[in-house]
Amino acid sequence: MKLLHMNKKVVLMDWGLTDYQEAWDRQEKLFEGIVAQKTANRKNNVETPTDNYMIFTEHPHVYTLGKSGKVENLLLDKSGLEEKHASYHHINRGGDITYHGPGQIVGYPILDLDNYFTDIHLYLRTLEEAIIRTLDDFGLKGERYTGFTGVWLDTKDPIRARKICAMGVRASRWVTMHGFALNVNTDLSYFGHIVPCGIDDKGVTSMQKELGSALETNQVKSAITKHLADLFGMEIIK
């Protein structure tokens, strides 16, 4: 049901460094609140505006496996995870396995797409476009790679093509959760312990590696926020 009075306001949150399970639980609470409001609206035949959130966070070293992923794409056993001070979670987003860790900007848009557009394909492409525009702000040419989600560099060269931003989302009743992970100042060695996103013949990179120096993550977050707001027509509330 498309809302007649769409709420374009998005509450911006920065959770800082957050344990993955804690962040997942907090996401679920916000997600379930929006779904409950939509259910109540439908039951009571009213149009109380639904909320939208944009969350930034970083996680301690963690590997997450999506619904369609293969556990064998994690190349560490329990003792290996302990040695790397990393945790592991099998979660309810789409996609295969990925890594999150310090120096990586993780974005969790929790949006009621009835406030914007009800098209998951377009939603993913719009998230990609926000990251592509952000990278351009810092002098990097991000691209889509046919057949893959996320944002890549040098896609015209299959040997050099490398992923800089992974994406995996969940949506129910047009409410989204999970999102994207942009490698900014990320320790890329942790990707060596998985088959990233189930792709065994492509590299992974970071903004720091490509530009030769560390970046101020708040500047990158500001750029992402600006482009998300422009592309979705959001009004950001801090």
Taking alpha carbons only, the member of 234, 225, 9, 237 closest to residue 131 is 225
In this structure, what DSSP letter does residue 46 have?
Answer: -
> Which among 113, 164, 194, 197 is annotated as catalytic?
197
Contact criterion met (CB below 8 Å) for 214 and 187 = no
Taking alpha carbons only, the member of 145, 142, 166 closest to residue 93 is 166
Taking alpha carbons only, the member of 57, 177, 149, 60 closest to residue 106 is 57
165 among known catalytic residues: no
Neighbours of 37 (CB within 10 A): 17
The letter for the amino acid at 93 is: R
Distance CA 172, CA 18 (A): 24
Distance CA 6, CA 55 (A): 20
Contact criterion met (CB below 8 Å) for 52 and 12 = no
Residue 198, CA distances (Å) to 12, 75, 160 in order: 32, 12, 17
What number of helices (H) and strands (E) belong to the chain? 5, 11
Taking alpha carbons only, the member of 94, 125, 104 closest to residue 232 is 125
Q: Hey, which residues are catalytic here? A: 197
